Amino acid sequence: MKYSTIYPKTKKEDPKSISSPGTKLLIRGGFIEQISSGLWVMSTLGLLVRKNIEKIIRKEMNTSGAVEFEFPILQPKELWEESGRWSKYIEAGIAFKLKDRKNLEYFLAPTAEEVVTNFAKKNLRSYRDLPLNIWQINTKFRDEIRPRQGLIRSREFLMKDAYSFNESEESLSNTYSIMEKTYNNIFKKIGLNFIKVDADSGSIGGNNSSEFMGLTDVGEDTLIYCPKCNYGANQEKATVYFPEYPEEELCNLIELETPNIKTVEELCNFTKLPANKMIKTIILEVDGYPVIVSLRGDLEISEIKLANLLGATNIKNATPEIVEKVTKAPVGFAGPVGLYNKTDVKYFFDISAKGIKNFLCGGNKKDYHYINVNFGRDFLEPETFYDLSKAVTGEICSNCKEEKLNSFQGIEVGHIFQLGQVYSKPMNAKFIDNTGNEEFFYMGCYGIGVSRIVQTIAEQYYDKNGVIWPVSIAPFEIIVLPANNKYHLEDSFEIYKNLISLGFKVIIDDTDTRIGEKFANAELLGIPVQVVVGKSWQENKSLEIRWRNRTCFAQNIFSIEKENSLPSCKIEFYQLKDILEKIFAK
Amino acid sequence: MKYSTIYPKTKKEDPKSISSPGTKLLIRGGFIEQISSGLWVMSTLGLLVRKNIEKIIRKEMNTSGAVEFEFPILQPKELWEESGRWSKYIEAGIAFKLKDRKNLEYFLAPTAEEVVTNFAKKNLRSYRDLPLNIWQINTKFRDEIRPRQGLIRSREFLMKDAYSFNESEESLSNTYSIMEKTYNNIFKKIGLNFIKVDADSGSIGGNNSSEFMGLTDVGEDTLIYCPKCNYGANQEKATVYFPEYPEEELCNLIELETPNIKTVEELCNFTKLPANKMIKTIILEVDGYPVIVSLRGDLEISEIKLANLLGATNIKNATPEIVEKVTKAPVGFAGPVGLYNKTDVKYFFDISAKGIKNFLCGGNKKDYHYINVNFGRDFLEPETFYDLSKAVTGEICSNCKEEKLNSFQGIEVGHIFQLGQVYSKPMNAKFIDNTGNEEFFYMGCYGIGVSRIVQTIAEQYYDKNGVIWPVSIAPFEIIVLPANNKYHLEDSFEIYKNLISLGFKVIIDDTDTRIGEKFANAELLGIPVQVVVGKSWQENKSLEIRWRNRTCFAQNIFSIEKENSLPSCKIEFYQLKDILEKIFAK
Instruction: Tell me the per-residue pLDDT of A222-240, one tens digit each, with 9 for 90 and over.
Output: 999 999 998 889 888 899 9
Alpha carbon distance A511, A7 (integer Å): 12
Chain B: nearest CA to A178, how far in angstroms?
A: 17
Residue of A nearest to B49 (CA): A69
- Looking at the partner chain, which of B36, B41, B123 has a beta carbon nearest the beta carbon of A7? B123
Q: What is the mean pLDDT of residues A186-196?
A: 96
Q: Where do the DSSP E strands lie in B368-452?
A: 368-373, 396-397, 406-420, 430-432, 438-440, 442-449
Which chain B residues are within 8 Å of A74, Cβ to Cβ? Answer: 36, 39, 96, 141, 155-156
Which chain A residues are within 8 Å of B40, Cβ to Cβ? Answer: 72
Looking at residue B236, what is its pLDDT?
A: 82
Beta bridge partners of B480: B508, B531
Q: Do A72 and B5 touch (CB under 8 A)?
A: no
Looking at residue A571, what is its pLDDT?
A: 87
ipTM: 0.90
pLDDT score of A242 more than 60: yes
Question: Which residue, among A33, A34, A40, A41, would best test binding to B if mutated, counting the most B CBs under 10 Å from its CB?
Answer: A41
Q: What is the mean pLDDT of residues B11-39?
A: 93
Looking at residue A550, what is its pLDDT?
A: 76
Question: Which residue, among B69, B80, B104, B450, would best test binding to A if mutated, counting the most A CBs under 10 Å from its CB?
Answer: B69
- Looking at the partner chain, which of B5, B65, B73 has a beta carbon nearest the beta carbon of A139? B73
- Looking at the partner chain, which of A41, A71, A129 has a beta carbon nearest the beta carbon of B72? A41
User: Given pLDDT bands bounded at 50, 70 and 90, which one contains residue A573?
Assistant: confident
Q: Is the peptide bond before B8 cis (omega within 30 degrees of 0)?
A: yes
User: Given pLDDT bands bounded at 50, 70 and 90, which one contains residue A574?
Assistant: confident
Chain A: nearest CA to B70, how far in angstroms?
A: 5
Q: Do A9 and B123 touch (CB under 8 A)?
A: yes
Q: What is the mean pLDDT of residues B37-56?
A: 98
- Mean confidence (pLDDT) of chain A: 93
Q: What is the mean pLDDT of residues B68-96?
A: 95
Alpha carbon distance B176, B415 (integer Å): 11
Q: Do B42 and A97 touch (CB under 8 A)?
A: no
Residue B586 CB coordination number (10 Å): 11
Chain A: nearest CA to B296, how far in angstroms?
A: 39
Domain ranges of chain B: 18-67+112-238+407-458, 254-373, 476-583
pLDDT score of B485 more than 60: yes
What dotted CATH number matches A476-583? Answer: 3.40.50.800
Which chain B residues are within 8 Å of A73, Cβ to Cβ? Answer: 73, 139, 156
Chain A: nearest CA to B526, how far in angstroms?
A: 19
Which chain A residues are within 8 Å of B74, Cβ to Cβ? Answer: 36, 39, 96, 141, 155-156
Tell me the per-residue pLDDT of A503-533, one tens digit each, with 9 for 90 and over. Answer: 999 999 999 999 999 999 999 999 999 999 9
What sign does the CA torsion over A158, A163, A169, A172 have? negative
What 3-state class would DSSP assign to A215?
Answer: strand
Which chain B residues are within 8 Å of A36, Cβ to Cβ? Answer: 72, 74, 76
Output the CA–CA distances (angstroms, integers) from residue B108 to B36, B120, B143, B181, B353, in the order listed. 18, 21, 10, 31, 46
Question: Which residue, among A1, A2, A5, would best test binding to B if mutated, counting the most B CBs under 10 Å from its CB?
Answer: A5
User: Given pLDDT bands bounded at 50, 70 and 90, which one contains residue A572?
Assistant: confident
The pLDDT > 90 percentage for chain B reads 84
Which chain B residues are within 8 Å of A64, Cβ to Cβ? Answer: none
- Looking at the partner chain, which of A7, A39, A74 has a beta carbon nearest the beta carbon of B156? A74
Chain A: nearest CA to B485, how far in angstroms?
A: 16
The pLDDT > 90 percentage for chain A reads 84
Chain B: nearest CA to A45, how far in angstroms?
A: 8
User: Given pLDDT bands bounded at 50, 70 and 90, which one contains residue B569?
Assistant: confident
- Looking at the partner chain, which of A69, A71, A98 has a beta carbon nearest the beta carbon of B44? A69
User: Given pLDDT bands bounded at 50, 70 and 90, which one contains residue A581?
Assistant: confident
Chain B: nearest CA to A43, how far in angstroms?
A: 5
Query: Shortest CA distance to A282 belongs to which of A332, A328, A240?
Result: A332
Tell me the per-residue pLDDT of B406-432, one tens digit each, with 9 for 90 and over. Answer: 999 999 999 999 999 999 999 999 999
Residue of A nearest to B31 (CA): A69
Chain A: nearest CA to B505, how far in angstroms?
A: 14
* CB crowding B287-326: b at 16 or more within 10 Å, else e: eeebbbbbbbbbbebbbbbbbbbeebeebeebeeebbbeb
Q: For A50-59, A347-356, B179-188, B300-309, which range has the lowest pLDDT when averaged over its residues?
A: B300-309
User: Given pLDDT bands bounded at 50, 70 and 90, which one contains residue B579?
Assistant: confident
Looking at residue B201, what is its pLDDT?
A: 60
Query: Shortest CA distance to A443 belongs to which of A208, A163, A207, A178?
Result: A163
- Mean confidence (pLDDT) of chain B: 93
Residue of A nearest to B141 (CA): A74
Query: Shortest CA distance to A529 belongs to which of A585, A491, A487?
Result: A585
DSSP code, position B449: E
Q: What is the mean pLDDT of residues A352-363?
A: 95
- Looking at the partner chain, which of A69, A108, A118 has a beta carbon nearest the beta carbon of B43? A69
- Looking at the partner chain, which of B8, B47, B119 has a beta carbon nearest the beta carbon of A123? B8
Q: Do B74 and A123 touch (CB under 8 A)?
A: no
Its CATH architecture, for the domain A3-183+420-458, is: 2-Layer Sandwich (3.30)
Which chain B residues are within 8 Å of A5, Cβ to Cβ? Answer: 65, 67, 132
User: Given pLDDT bands bounded at 50, 70 and 90, which one contains residue A555?
Assistant: low
Q: Is the peptide bond before A131 cis (omega within 30 degrees of 0)?
A: yes
Chain Cα centroid distance, residue A473: 20
Q: What is the mean pLDDT of residues A418-446?
A: 97
Q: What is the mean pLDDT of residues A433-456?
A: 97
Residue A141 near residue A155 (C-beta atoms within 8 A): yes
- Binning chain B into helix, strand and coil, the percentages to the nearest 5 are 30, 30, 40
Beta bridge partners of B91: none
Q: Do A6 and B139 touch (CB under 8 A)?
A: no
pLDDT score of A201 more than 70: no
Tell me which amino acid residue B554 is: A
Q: Do A35 and B119 touch (CB under 8 A)?
A: yes
pLDDT score of B562 more than 80: no
Contacts of A134 (CB under 8 A, 6+ apart): A66, A67, A69, A116, A119, A120, A162, A163, A164, A165
Pairing verdict, β B466-467 and B462-463: antiparallel
Looking at residue A208, what is its pLDDT?
A: 83
- pTM for the whole structure: 0.90
Q: Do B98 and A98 touch (CB under 8 A)?
A: yes
Q: Do A69 and B76 touch (CB under 8 A)?
A: no
Alpha carbon distance B31, B7 (integer Å): 9
pLDDT score of A173 more than 70: yes
Q: Do B93 and A101 touch (CB under 8 A)?
A: yes
Which chain A residues are within 8 Å of B9, Cβ to Cβ? Answer: 123
Residue of A nearest to B135 (CA): A44
Which chain A residues are within 8 Å of B73, Cβ to Cβ? Answer: 73, 139, 156
Question: Which residue, among A1, A31, A94, A98, would best test binding to B if mutated, counting the most B CBs under 10 Å from its CB?
Answer: A98
Looking at residue A64, what is its pLDDT?
A: 98
Contacts of A575 (CB under 8 A, 6+ apart): none
pLDDT score of A203 more than 80: no
Chain B: nearest CA to A502, how far in angstroms?
A: 18
Number of CB pairs, chain A paired with chain B, less than 8 A apart: 126
> Could you say which of 2.40.50.140, 3.90.960.10, 3.40.190.80, 3.40.50.300 is the CATH number of the domain covering B254-373?
3.90.960.10
Residue of A nearest to B114 (CA): A35
Alpha carbon distance B144, B304 (integer Å): 20
Chain B: nearest CA to A462, how far in angstroms?
A: 24
Chain A: nearest CA to B158, how far in angstroms?
A: 11
Topology of domain B18-67+112-238+407-458 in CATH is BirA Bifunctional Protein; domain 2 (3.30.930)
